[in-house]
Chains A and B, each alone.
Chain A
Amino acid sequence: METPEGIDLLLRPAGLVPRALAFTLDLVIRAAILLALFIGLGLLGTFGMGLAALLLFLVQWWYMVLFEVLNQGRTPGKQWLGLRVVHDDGTPVGWTSSLTRNLLRFVDMLPFGYFLGALSCLGHPVFKRLGDLAAGTLVIYQEKPQARPELPPAEAQQPPFSLTLDDQRALIGFAERQSSLSAERRLELAAILAEPLRTTREEAETRIHGIARGLLGPQ
């Protein structure tokens, strides 16, 4: 998705399984709320039952809408699974679109157990159910901040030839990921570059680390 600032933002749409899990979680939470309500308000007699009917309506139809609009597009279930609802253009979901997508949930559930919704979700390139299609919304993964890896200690070196941007990023990526790779795999990957870097298979790894360090600049 491209923004008015001319940069591309990456939205990662969530598939059927995490969404189904989030929905189940929400269902359990709602059931618990309703149970507590009926037990608590049942003691209040008819007034309590009237209130319970109103709250049942509120929980049944507005639980999702209220949470999505007031809590950055996340119901408790979605929050748990790291999902959120946004508009197609990446902006936070508003009242009308949230209401639309949640009212049309009724159709997604037809004829039983989210059959149509699942079908539409599986068939769509960014996993939209029917309600999402009509409301122009999208369920995406909530971005999580990641810890920056430390580069391995190495002397900064000059690469033997000029690097393209992709080469640069590949070399830096190798150096950053080295702690998550086994020693054999590191050797294997680095050996591919031994010849163009004019070094031996065993030396290639330290050479790449050095080049990466040289590209990033002194710490």
Chain B
Amino acid sequence: MKQAAFERRYQPAWLAFAAQLDALERGKPPPMQADAFPAAYRQICQQLALSEARGYSSHLIEQLQQLALRGHQQFYRHRSPLLGRLLGFVLGGFARSVRAQWRYVLAASLLFYGSLISMGMLVHAFPELVYSLLPADQVAQMERMYDPDASRLGRFAERGSGDDWLMFGYYVMNNIGIAFQTFASGLLFGLGSLFFLLFNGLTIGAVAGHLTEIGYHQPFWSFVIGHGAFELTAITLAGAAGLRLGSALVAPGRLTRGAALRQAAALGIRLVCGAIGLLLIAAFVEAYWSSMTVVSPTTKYVVGALLWLLVASYFAFAGRSRHAAD
């Protein structure tokens, strides 16, 4: 068949297919029946192969190539209902991926909590050590924030709901930013995640040790215990995902480094998504619950312990059932 005849014959089908693609790309209901699309797409592919084999002009081939490419992109898109996937992830997928990567989570936890606890104990034993890690004005600021007298004067109680909201926004921005950095810098052979885990562990440990040592433990610990369950876990998970990236580069095993990295990133991003969720909860708890002074510290300790238990049992048990939503 000559090219001109070929074009005359199929031009209407191409135009209809292009219109269908336009509608699909804009997210509008397509003019053609959806079940007609695969057949139309395969037809285009066949005609493209045919015109290449018959030596038709490159302009025609280019046009068919574009149609085929656009069709390919619509036909093979990875689409599944976002809400359902999100629900499955929250109900068990997240806990399963954390358990599947327990080695990295354990390593990150050891790094983070290890540096936190040892720094806390060191500062408790040698109080002046805190100034070697933190600048003096930052320490003074921390002291003001958790001054038991000030909080008895009702500094927190004076905050209106607008301030709580402001703090919520601030915590979201700040903490999730830190989690993202902890994850991303793992690409530098894991060194970045290592740094952020240790740095945050040391800082928090120093502040905790210092405040306990000068007798501010009541306001400090009752403040942090509630949201700490979510926040510290989230930072650890982001660090674990970062370490996963780094180890894929350092020791890719039987894969090429590129393939190992892609695999590690696909698994790691699940941990990061979960960490985002945890940090949102943490920011909410921190802004609206931890800052409340109406409830007694004892209540806060009890609730805080329950929250820790909740987080621990989520990761221990969620998603284990055979019929878990997927």
Asked if A and B are interacting partners, one says yes
Is A160's beta carbon under 8 Å from chain B? no
Tell me how far the C-beta of B184 lies from the nearest C-beta in chain A, rounded to whole angstroms.
4
Contacts of B299 in A (CB 8 A): none
Least CB separation from A10: chain B residue: B65
Are A61 and B176 in touch, CB under 8 angstroms? yes
B 94-106 binary contact with A (CB < 8 Å = 1; else 0): 0000000000000
**Sample (14) of A-B pairs whose CB atoms are under 8 Å apart:** A5-B45, A7-B68, A46-B166, A53-B170, A56-B173, A89-B76, A91-B78, A96-B273, A103-B272, A107-B187, A134-B261, A143-B69, A165-B54, A216-B3
Binding site for A on B (CB under 8 A): 2-5, 25, 41-42, 45-46, 48-49, 53-60, 62-63, 65-66, 68-70, 72-73, 76-79, 82, 160, 162-163, 165-170, 172-173, 176-177, 180-181, 183-185, 187-188, 192, 245, 258, 261-262, 264-266, 269-270, 272-273
Least CB separation from A166: chain B residue: B55
Tell me how far the C-beta of A133 lies from the nearest C-beta in chain B, rounded to whole angstroms.
6
Name the interface residues of A60-114: CB closer than 8 Å to any CB of B. Answer: 60-61, 72, 86-87, 89-92, 94-96, 99-100, 103-107, 110
Tell me how far the C-beta of A182 lies from the nearest C-beta in chain B, rounded to whole angstroms.
21
A83 to B54, CA, bound (A): 32
Cross-interface CB contact of B266 among A91, A100, A165, A219, cutoff 8 Å:
A100
Name the interface residues of A184-219: CB closer than 8 Å to any CB of B. Answer: 215-219
A133 to B168, CA, bound (A): 35
Are A100 and B73 in touch, CB under 8 angstroms? no
Query: Number of A-B pairs whose CB atoms are under 8 Å?
Result: 171
Least CB separation from A173: chain B residue: B58
State the 5 A-B residue pairs at the shortest beta-carbon distance, nearest first.
A217-B2, A53-B169, A50-B169, A165-B55, A50-B166
Q: A6-B49, A143-B69 are in contact. List 10 more A-B contacts (CB 8 A).
A: A9-B72, A46-B162, A47-B162, A53-B170, A87-B78, A106-B181, A106-B185, A135-B262, A136-B265, A165-B54
Q: What's the dominant secondary structure at chain A's contact region? A: helix
Are B170 and A50 in touch, CB under 8 angstroms? yes
Name the interface residues of A111-127: CB closer than 8 Å to any CB of B. Answer: none
Contacts of B265 in A (CB 8 A): 100, 104, 134-136
A 39-54 binary contact with B (CB < 8 Å = 1; else 0): 0000001110111111
Tell me how far the C-beta of B240 lies from the nearest C-beta in chain A, rounded to whole angstroms.
15
Contacts of A11 in B (CB 8 A): 69
Least CB separation from B283: chain A residue: A54
Query: In the complex where A50-B168, A104-B187, A107-B184 touch, is A94 in contact with B269 (Cβ < 8 A)?
Result: no
